[in-house]
């Protein structure tokens, strides 16, 4: 369904290429972002959260509908924030950390309420909400794993640069001491 790296996106149509379309279409995320891994994950989080929310509304486990609703709204916010590159515009916020914490808490909450919905409630809507909640747990866990790897890679590059600078400074000071 989704293209491999280097292939064209199934959502892109060459006939629609060109300047931005005015109106409501200007609010939609760019196709290039939706074809990226981050865009796909955020879109899947939004869709699964919305479906889980609808299932909880129709079930006897309606006490759990707040968590999927909040996660749906947060996933939409991050989808549009990343698509509109708000992280570049609002640099005072630590976007990767906020996204990481959102994904970790969402995965934990979805896991807990999905187990409860499947085990405690017997109606079909609760079972469906639990199953979609488990799928959402997996998607959120994949997202926080990828964010963690990106942040760890960034920090490792920062530490290696600091270590080489500190090592060079140490060598210079030891060279000057030997004179």
Residue range 26-55, pLDDT digits in tens: 666 677 777 788 889 999 999 999 999 999
Residue 151: burial class (beta carbons within 10 Å; 0-12, 13-18, 19+): middle
Instruction: Pick left, alpha or beta for residue 87 (phi over 0 → left; psi -120 to 50 → alpha; otherwise beta).
Output: alpha
pLDDT at res. 103? 93
Q: Is the pLDDT confidence value at 137 over 70?
A: yes
Q: For position 14, what pLDDT does the model report? A: 44
The continuous run of DSSP H or E covering 1 comes out as none
Burial 88-101 (b: 16+ CB within 10 A, else e): eeeeeeebeeebbe
pLDDT above 70 covers what percent of the chain? 72
Residue 166 — very low, low, confident or very high, per pLDDT cuts 50/70/90? Answer: low
Confidence of residue 72 (pLDDT cuts 50, 70, 90): very high
Q: What is the pLDDT of residue 13?
A: 45
Q: Does 61 score more than 50 pLDDT?
A: yes
Contact 68, 46 (CB under 8 A): no
Distance between CA atoms of 77 and 102, rounded to whole angstroms? 11
Q: Is the pLDDT of residue 115 over 80?
A: yes
pLDDT at 7: 57
User: 97: pLDDT confidence band, cut at 50, 70 and 90?
Assistant: confident
Residue 85 exposure: Cα atoms within 13 Å on the Cβ side: 5
**pLDDT > 90? residue 133:** yes
Q: For position 126, what pLDDT does the model report? A: 93
Cα 160 to Cα 150: distance, rounded to the nearest angstrom:
15
């Amino acid at each position: 369904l989704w293209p491999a790296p280097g292939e064209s996106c199934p959502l892109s149509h060459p006939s629609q290429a060109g300047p931005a379309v005015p109106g409501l279409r200007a609010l939609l995320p760019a196709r290039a972002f939706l074809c990226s891994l981050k865009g796909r994950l955020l879109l899947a989080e939004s869709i699964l959260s919305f479906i889980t929310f609808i299932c909880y509304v129709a079930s006897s486990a309606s006490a759990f509908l707040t968590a999927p609703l909040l996660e749906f709204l947060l996933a939409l916010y991050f989808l549009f924030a990343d698509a509109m590159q708000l992280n570049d515009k609002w640099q005072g916020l630590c976007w990767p950390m906020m996204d990481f914490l959102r994904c970790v808490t969402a995965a934990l909450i979805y896991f807990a309420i999905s187990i409860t919905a499947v085990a405690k409630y017997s109606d079909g809507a609760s079972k469906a909400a639990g199953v979609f909640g488990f799928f959402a747990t997996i998607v959120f866990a994949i997202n926080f794993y990828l964010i963690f790897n990106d942040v760890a890679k960034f920090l490792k590059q920062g530490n290696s640069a600091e270590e080489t600078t500190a090592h060079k400074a140490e060598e210079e000071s030891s060279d000057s001491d030997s004179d």
